């Protein structure tokens, strides 16, 4: 889409918003139900599209893409009416008599830029929240998942009027053109480097925004952990979607006393997960550039398991790497693929030194049966969200706000947090007219009286 087309679209959307801002909650619920029906009707198409993009297994599409989307729609259908009601708050004494309320109102025109790793769910989930709150939305899906982008465009065009929600496809230049426009809110999911660019670009308009990014998520395995369970849950969370998950464990920190034993359990778990040798239940890397980047990161590393690759299909086997140097390219930034560095630690001080080497992570995981150890980990490190004795499962609880901190993200969403993200608070004081206390009006003859009144607050 050319710059002129984008500006024409936004102009028409501007005009539409003047009336759409008055869309009732009941009308929004009807739209959400229509969206849910369309997604259901296209379930098979969505599964096929994501598979065509990078061979993501059907089970992973159902669980990590469709299930999450359905949960978000159902929650908004059930809760949006109650969430949208004005909330009364106690009045200030100086405004007596009055009634005070907080209204949640839509921002207006929202731009959603979605990533390729969960190309359906990470695109449609913020759209659900934005539309439910009364906003208009332009969705820019990832050009690296073109089949999923096509089905997203088909669903959005079926459900919404063009001025209410629109999919704009394109690559980097299209994203740049979109970011040059003036938005009321921008919601971006993607890498840390691109997130910085997005933030800088929209700063000239002082646009409020959410950045869902990533980072080097540590996973700690204490000597007291249930090692059999830990091995399964870590391998599942890490190698789901071929490791292309922003909250996947990025590296393991294993108590030195159990490192050798736990490495063997990781290896035996991976052999059990993918016993057929064909990796039919295992996604591929999204494109050739990502394949070249990840296989390049393995050069010169001490691979203790895996490492096989196939450039024709962008396949990289789940791979364990022993203690790569922290200055290596493998540890410079988020791996975002099926490579898991494994380290030993001997003390909590060593844990702190290692984890604090990197920016604040999006997620942190700890496997332990010791309450004092778990508490110390939680209190010692700053991260977006975490799990004790599992990985990545905090993402699926819509009662938990999801987001990062520092370089791993800004803002959060999911469930009620999405409602709070896609609305802004408008404060209204309604004064009564049956009493009008004259003390605030000139001439100020009541200074001494007010000084006595202020003593209540001094």
> Which tokens sit at 59?
């089970």
Torsion-angle region of 406 (φ positive above 0: left; ψ -120 to 50: alpha; else: beta): left
Helix intervals (H) in 298-446: 348-355, 371-380, 416-421
312 annotated active-site: no
Q: Give the start-to-end residue ranges of the domains of the chain.
A: 3-213+409-425, 218-403
Q: 17 with 166: CB under 8 angstroms? A: no
> Which tokens sit at 78?
């059930």
3 annotated active-site: no
Fold (topology level) of 218-403: Aldehyde Dehydrogenase; Chain A, domain 2 (3.40.309)
Please pick, among 60, 72, 246, 317, the residue that the annotation labels catalytic.
246
Please pick, among 60, 212, 317, 420, the residue that the annotation labels catalytic.
212
pLDDT at residue 18 in the model: 47
| Residue from 139, 144, 143, 152 nearest 112 by CA | 139
- Within 8 A by CB and 6+ apart from 453, the residues are none
**Mean pLDDT split into 10-residue runs, the chain, 458 residues:** 65 54 86 98 98 98 97 98 96 88 95 98 98 96 98 97 92 94 96 94 94 97 98 98 98 98 98 90 97 97 97 98 96 96 98 96 98 98 98 96 96 97 96 86 84 80
pLDDT at residue 1 in the model: 60
Beta strands per DSSP E along 126-261: 136-140, 165-167, 185-189, 209-212, 218-221, 251-255
Q: What letters, b where the CB count within 10 A reaches 16 and e where it falls short, cover 49-87?
A: bbbebbbbbeebbeebbbebbebbbebbbeebeebbeee
pLDDT at residue 19 in the model: 43
**C-alpha span between 406 and 49 (Å, rounded):** 34
SS3 state at 406? helix
Q: 169 with 138: CB under 8 angstroms? A: no
pLDDT at residue 2 in the model: 61
CATH of the domain spanning 3-213+409-425, picked from 1.10.630.10, 3.40.50.620, 2.40.30.10, 3.40.605.10: 3.40.605.10
């Amino acid at each position: 889409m050319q710059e002129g087309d984008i500006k024409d679209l936004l102009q028409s959307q501007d005009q539409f918003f003047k009336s759409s801002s008055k869309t009732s909650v009941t009308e929004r619920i009807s739209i959400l139900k229509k969206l849910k029906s369309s997604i259901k009707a296209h379930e098979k198409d969505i599964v096929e599209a994501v598979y065509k993009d990078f061979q993501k297994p059907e089970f992973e599409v159902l669980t990590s893409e469709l299930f999450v989307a359905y949960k978000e729609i159902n929650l908004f259908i059930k809760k949006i009416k109650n969430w949208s009601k004005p909330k009364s708050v106690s009045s200030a004494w100086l405004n007596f008599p009055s009634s005070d309320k907080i209204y949640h109102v839509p921002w207006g025109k929202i731009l959603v830029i979605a990533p390729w790793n969960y190309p359906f769910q990470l695109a449609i989930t913020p759209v659900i929240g934005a539309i439910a709150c009364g906003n208009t939305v332009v969705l820019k899906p990832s050009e690296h998942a073109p089949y999923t982008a096509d089905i997203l465009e088909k669903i959005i065009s079926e459900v919404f009027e063009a001025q209410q929600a629109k999919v704009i496809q394109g690559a980097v230049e299209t994203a740049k053109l979109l970011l040059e426009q003036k938005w009321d809110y921008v919601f971006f999911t993607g890498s840390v480097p691109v997130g910085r660019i997005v933030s800088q670009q929209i700063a000239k308009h002082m646009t409020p925004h959410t950045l869902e990014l990533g980072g080097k998520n540590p996973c700690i395995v204490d000597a007291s952990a249930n090692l059999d369970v830990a091995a399964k849950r870590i391998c599942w969370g890490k190698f789901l979607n071929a490791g292309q998950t922003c909250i996947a464990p990025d590296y393991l920190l294993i108590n030195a006393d159990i490192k050798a034993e736990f490495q063997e359990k990781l290896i035996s778990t991976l052999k059990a997960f993918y016993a057929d040798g064909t990796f039919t239940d295992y996604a591929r890397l999204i494109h050739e550039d990502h394949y070249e980047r990840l296989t390049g990161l393995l050069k010169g590393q001490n691979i203790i398991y895996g490492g096989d690759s196939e450039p024709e299909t962008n396949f990289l086997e789940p791979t364990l790497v022993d203690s790569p140097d922290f200055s290596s390219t493998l540890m410079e930034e988020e791996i975002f693929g099926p490579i898991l560095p494994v380290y030993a630690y001997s003390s909590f001080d060593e844990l702190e030194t290692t984890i604090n080497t990197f920016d604040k992570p999006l997620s942190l995981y700890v496997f332990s049966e010791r309450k004092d150890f778990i508490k110390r980990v939680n209190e010692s490190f700053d991260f977006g969200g975490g799990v004790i004795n599992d990985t990545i499962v905090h993402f699926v609880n819509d009662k938990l706000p999801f987001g990062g901190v520092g370089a791993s993200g800004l803002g959060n969403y999911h469930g009620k947090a999405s409602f709070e993200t896609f609305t802004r608070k408008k404060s209204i004081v309604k004064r009564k007219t049956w009493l009008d206390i004259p003390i605030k009006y000139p001439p100020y003859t009541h200074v001494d009286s007010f000084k006595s009144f202020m003593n209540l607050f001094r």
